[in-house]
Amino acid sequence: MSLLLAISGWDAAPWRKRFAALLPGYALVTPETLVDRAAVRYAIVWRPPHGLLAELPRLEAIFSLGAGVDHILSDPHLPDVPIARVVDPDLTARMSEWVVLNCLTHLRQTRRYERQQRGLVWADDDDQPAARDVRVGVLGFGELGRDAAAKLAALGFPVAAWSASPKTAPGVACFDGPAGLDAMLARTDILVCLLPLTAATRGILNAALFAKLPRDGRLGGAILLNAGRGGLQVEADIVAALDSGALKGASLDVFETEPLPQDSPLWRHPAVFVTPHNAAISHPDAIARAVAEQILAHERGEPLRHVVDRKRGY
Piece of the chain touching ligand OXD by CB under 6 A; list 60-68, 101-109, 129-137, 150-158? 60-68
Active site residues: 229, 277
Distance CA 55, CA 81 (A): 13
Residue among 48, 137, 140, 217 that touches ligand NDP (CB under 6 A): 140
Residue among 45, 56, 66, 260 that touches ligand OXD (CB under 6 A): 66
Category of 142 on φ-ψ map: left (φ > 0), alpha (ψ -120 to 50) or beta: beta
Based on CB atoms, which residue is closest to ligand OXD, 66 or 158? 66
Among candidates 107, 92, 144, 61, which has minimal Cα distance to 223?
107
Based on CB atoms, which residue is closest to ligand OXD, 134 or 197? 197
Distance CA 223, CA 247 (A): 6
SS3 64: strand
Tell me the per-residue interface mask from 82 to 121 with ligand NDP, x by CB under 6 A, - otherwise: -------------x--------------------------
Please enumerate in sequence order all residues whose Cβ is within 8 A of that of 97, keeping only pairs 6 or more positions apart, or say none.
none
Q: Which residue is nearest to ligand OXD (CB)?
A: 66
Do the Cβ atoms of 90 and 284 come closer than 8 Å?
no
Shortest distance, position 285 Cβ to ligand OXD, whole Å: 15
SS3 131: helix
Cα-flanking dihedrals φ and ψ of residue 83, to 5°? -115, 120
Distance CA 284, CA 300 (A): 24
Tell me the per-residue interface mask from 275 to 304 with ligand OXD, x by CB under 6 A, - otherwise: -------x----------------------
Cβ-based neighbour number of residue 77 at 10 Å: 10
Based on CB atoms, which residue is closest to ligand OXD, 66 or 140? 66
| Size of residue set near ligand NDP by CB under 6 A | 31
Residue among 43, 67, 103, 159 that touches ligand NDP (CB under 6 A): 67
Sheet architecture: strand order including 40-46:
27-29, 2-7, 40-46, 61-64, 83-84
Chain residues that interact with ligand OXD, rule: CB under 6 A: 66-68, 86, 282
Chain residues that interact with ligand NDP, rule: CB under 6 A: 66-68, 95, 140-145, 162-165, 194-198, 200-201, 227-229, 253-254, 277-280, 314
